[in-house]
Amino acid sequence: MKRGKRGQVWIETVIYTAIALLMIGLVLTYAKPKIEEFQDKAILEQSLEMFRAIDDTIKDIGVAGNKRFVEIGIKKGSLQIDGENDKIIFEMESQYEYSEIGKEILLSPDKRIVAYTEKIGGTNKVNFTINYAEYNVNITYQKKDEFKIMGKAPTPYKLLISNNGKIGGDTLIDISLSGLN
């Protein structure tokens, strides 16, 4: 008789453990995407602040010959310097839907940054863009009209932003990496 009770205790233990694991699995199935969404939202907000710091430096650099350093950390996504089209773009795949899908919005307070979200499969691709051609600014990367992508990195990038004077009505702003990244 004692043997039967011991067997029953083990069976109950296994069943309760299986039920507990099933419940944990169900909670994680719902919670993990929400956690990733909140993490992506936080990263996008930090990236937007980094993007604004670059823009503020470009706006406030002053007269020809001035140079400023900006340190930026990229945890996820990429920063793109498009010298050919005079744009700076931050792009990231995200669980978070930053703006209405398929519509460009101008972000406050200065209305210079355009946010755009598009659906790609089960995720979203979020872009922040500033078109400097609209502000009579010619952007270059290391003094060339090139396209440069900076991806996530364990250490921050150190950007040197320089005002190289004017040609015609456009202010020449050069962005280059300082040090090794």
The tens digit of pLDDT for each residue in 96-139 reads 999 999 999 999 888 999 999 999 998 999 999 999 999 999 99
**Which residue type does 72 have?**
I
Instruction: Give me 123's structure tokens.
Output: 């995720």
pTM: 0.82
Residue 99: closest CA among 132, 124, 76, 81: 124
Residue 36: closest CA among 90, 97, 79, 115: 97
Measured between alpha carbons, how far is 144 from 142 in angstroms, rounded to an integer?
6
- pLDDT digit string, tens, across residues 50-99: 999 999 999 999 889 999 999 999 999 999 999 999 999 999 999 999 99
Whether a cis peptide bond, with omega within 30° of 0, leads into 156 is no
